[in-house]
Structure 1
Amino acid sequence: MPPKFGTSGLRGLVTELTDDLIRDHVVAFAKSCDIGNCVYVGQDLRDSSPRVATATMSALRDFGVDVVDCGAVVTPALAMAAMANGSAAIMVTGSHIPADRNGIKFYIPDGEITKAHEAAILANLGSALDEHMEMGKQTAFNAEPAFVDRYLHGFGKTALAGRRIGVYAHSTVGRDLLQTILASLGADVTELGRSVTFIPVDTEAVDPETRSQLREWAAGSDLDAIVSMDGDGDRPLLTDETGEVISGDILGQLTAQFLNARHVVTPVSSNTGVKQLGFESVLHTKIGSPFVIAGMEDVDGPVVGYEANGGFLLGFEATGSAGSIDPLMTRDSVLPLVSVLVAGQGRPLSALMEHQPQRFTAADRLQNIERETSLALIERIKNDPAWFADHFNASIVDTDETDGFRMTFSDQTIIHVRPSGNAPELRIYVEAESAVTAGKLLDAAYSTIKALSD
């Protein structure tokens, strides 16, 4: 599959992300979008990221754009620094996808690019450079201190006093930053599982091996929680004291409650229990942060957005346990982690979960399936949903085609299938009244769909 460009950025195999291809997309971005004062550039810890970042900054300078090199940094810190300076940003990351792939993600001074920006960039591919253009300058900047201060100001130095928190470091670019933030809030931090090779952690579909490792770490310690994030630090991972993963959409609704939001915008794949929590409005969108942001912009009042992967967007000036927290209209992993840990202070996180609506989600993916194949599989299910439902001894009472195909069964379980927007994968989401039922349903749905693909 050749590199693909969309609102999630340009992503593809490292071998196919050539310097010329990178230059073409970066120049098209600079030509077609408002980049403000300059462009901030960051990168994750993949082996290929320094080369891709160098090609990105070189293309910008050749186009006469000043560059601020932020080095290895989490995406929300990069975006926050750029927006504070009235500047655009480019993050070099493949997020949660394997190490043989990488990508670049674009931000205008207001935040993530939209579908309109995507179209403009595509229309400007192939543009030639002006040979007489003056070279842009390059400087360096550390975006992390201001990002740490965001949480210190909002939560205070004792917010997590007495909390014993494990940090699954793996290869996330935010592994040291996350430990710094938690320690600055008073937590006793223990690092776990640091890796010198890149590990693609998908916080929306945590694999069985990782779940087992998290439980082992929890069983062998007196930790109150284990936290982590994906490769570029915009998607959180949190477990309770037993090492059980708390899904990202539950983190989202807990954080929305803690921050006293009145309106919630979240993709159709998120847990439906949020509708039972008393928010003034809950809007479901297509999957992807651009759709969530668009939905948030249409809402008046204190609004937040989140995705099933846990990435959280703050659309108003909120108040933490100690002070104000400025809006940040891009996915952030740290705010939901800290908010839920603070909300649960003084009791086990498992007890905090007992007060949430008893709806449980689970997700998995069929990998190495091209988009065309995924679409064909979904079309087959749509054409004969009763046949598909027979595999689960239930009937379908409702369907939703907002994004992919989502089926609600007579027992109120849900199966939702859609092609990934940024990787050759078919995503499978389920929802049920218990975690055990959700797990069994996901296994059955995966097996059934996998058999169709063979």
Structure 2
Amino acid sequence: MENSTRSVSIQEIQDTSGVRFGTSGARGLVADMTSEVCYAYASAFLGAIPQKSGGIAIAMDLRPSSPAIAAACAAAIHDSGLAIDFCGAVPTPALAFHAQERCVPGIMVTGSHIPFDRNGIKFYRADGEITKADEAKISAAVVDVPLGAQTVALPSINRNAYDAYVARYVDFFPPRCFAGMRLGFYEHSSLAREVLKSILSALGAEVISLGRTDEFVPIDTEAVSKADIEQARRWAAQHRFDAIVSTDGDADRPLLGDENGDWFRGDVVGILSAQYLRAQGVVTTVSSNSAVELCGKFEQVIRTRIGSPYVIEGIEKLITAGVTQVVGFEPNGGFLVGSPIERDGRTLAPLMTRDAVLPMLCVLHMARERGVKVSALPGLLPTRFTASDRIQSFPTALSKKLIGEFAESPEAFAALFGSICGSAKRQDQTDGLRIYLESDEIVHFRPSGNAPELRCYAEAGDQARAEQLVAECLQRLKGQLKVE
């Protein structure tokens, strides 16, 4: 006998649970991501896409809460009459590539880099990430949720997603192109800790595992902790690596360090990777390093709001306009391939979701081709330096209130930041508030779309100054939190 059901509005779920769409998927506190909530979201997604037969690919990250969420999403797939193609714990881009190659939709259970007490679900159509219009359709849905069991046992793992992702890069880069390279791999709880090792080893590198843990570590590639900065330098001094590689939790954002253990900024990795791939068109967010334009290597550059759906929209505009060799990236280093990439007789297929592995391989091979140390590569770019950090547990409503005040009143901005920033000459509200200073420096404030955090970005003529701007601005904003 079938379980009875009740109708559930996704809007109601969002209001009562707080689980809602941010810049990348539906996210919320683990305590609020109940089986009913996750079943309802997955069911709404399945109702919003044209797929009515066949299978749905599903994978998950290594957070302790992810198997239960995946089981609830799998139940929705099963109850919709579709097959569950369970890919296990693989990187988000591996799940997306598998779904793309099989022409099936996909569901990825991951909170990416956000704090441990949270998790999320990313949704993929057969042709790539869902759009903002798809998110709106899901949010407006009313679905039937069983009153009884809302989870099913996950089936055995299909290894094809893992294998296809390894082959994607082993086939594109020259055979054994990293032979003789000694690479440290900060594994922590990254989903890449097996697949990246397989790729690098197949390309000839010696890979030394570092820092693996069974406890989930929320690595944020835009706000690397002081502990991780210091640890990378200790590893470099101890082991004499050519480079250190790592990723965030779901392996869609790279973390690349040079032979000295100094981590590269994600937008620097993105610009270098775009150059390596000989891109003609580049799409990146408003918060990326302005060296992307200043380097003069790309025929067209489009700036967007922060979030991969906006980068994808920009990529599609360039492709529609007839631009070839189109890529995109975000300041976190996540790299998207919008069109087939031709290089040295090999072709890389598009992958319209953030990826951590490709940009690291591009930068490492660029160093190999040029015969230089990895640390020399940023010197090929115009001397613009960026920094970023965040205040966690900063109420989103307060972030928006303060940013609104600064946007409306230059006097309010000057009163709080004038002594460190100087005078503002113009502003950009594409995403948050980006303020261009008379000194040709930049400060940018933005509430996170995924968690109650306030982020600050800065750009200056040297790294120390960019870091000083971020640290001082955030310190002054913390004072505002105490006032409230």
TM-score (norm 2): 0.90
Instruction: Give 1:337-348 correspondences, 5 Å limit.
Output: 337-345=360-368, 346-348=371-373
Distance in 1, matches of 2:308 and 2:41, equals 21
Instruction: Report the equivalent of 2:285.
Output: 267
Instruction: Report the equivalent of 2:139.
Output: 122
Instruction: Report the equivalent of 2:162.
Output: 144
Selected match of 2:125 from 108, 111, 120: 108
Partner SS for 2:216: coil
How far off its partner does 1:311 sit? 0.5
Selected match of 1:362 from 377, 387, 396: 387
Moved over 6 A (4+): none
Distance in 1, matches of 2:154 and 2:113, equals 32
How far off its partner does 1:220 sit? 1.4
Amino acid at match of 1:27: S
Instruction: Report the equivalent of 1:435.
Output: 463
Distance in 2, matches of 1:242 and 1:136, equals 46
Distance in 1, matches of 2:49 and 2:233, equals 46
Instruction: Report the equivalent of 2:449.
Output: 421
How far off its partner does 1:7 sit? 5.7
Instruction: Report the equivalent of 1:211.
Output: 229
2:75 is aligned with 1:58: yes
* 1:40-95 residue CA offsets vs partner (Å, 9 max, x unmatched): 00000011111111111012101212110001000111110111111000000000
2:309 is aligned with 1:290: yes
Change (3 A) 1:128 1:443: closer
* 1:412-441 residue CA offsets vs partner (Å, 9 max, x unmatched): 111000111111111111111111111111
Selected match of 1:235 from 253, 272, 275: 253
Distance in 1, matches of 2:284 and 2:51, equals 28
Selected match of 1:388 from 413, 429, 452: 413
Answer whether contact 2:184 2:207 (CA < 8 A) is retained.
yes
Amino acid at match of 2:138: I
Instruction: Report the equivalent of 2:37.
Output: 21
How far off its partner does 1:373 sit? 1.5
How far off its partner does 1:366 sit? 0.9
Partner SS for 1:102: strand
Distance in 2, matches of 1:167 and 1:438, equals 28
2:47 is aligned with 1:31: yes
Distance in 2, matches of 1:23 and 1:385, equals 47
2:58 is aligned with 1:41: yes
* 1:150-184 residue CA offsets vs partner (Å, 9 max, x unmatched): 11111032211111110000001111111111111
Change (3 A) 1:321 1:436: farther
Distance in 1, matches of 2:260 and 2:51, equals 46
* 1:94-120 residue CA offsets vs partner (Å, 9 max, x unmatched): 000122111111000010000110011
Selected match of 1:326 from 342, 349, 354: 349
How far off its partner does 1:139 sit? 6.3
Partner SS for 1:253: helix
Is there any run of 5+ residues in structure 2 with no aligned partner, and where? Answer: 1-16
Partner SS for 1:391: helix
Q: CA RMSD in A?
A: 1.9
Distance in 1, matches of 2:212 and 2:72, equals 28
Partner SS for 2:221: coil
Partner SS for 1:392: helix
* 1:264-321 residue CA offsets vs partner (Å, 9 max, x unmatched): 1000010011101221111100000000000100012221100000000011221346
TM-score (norm 1): 0.96
Selected match of 1:200 from 213, 218, 224: 218
Change (3 A) 1:187 1:137: closer
Amino acid at match of 2:175: K
Selected match of 2:329 from 298, 302, 306: 306
Distance in 2, matches of 1:139 and 1:187, equals 32
Distance in 1, matches of 2:421 and 2:165, equals 50
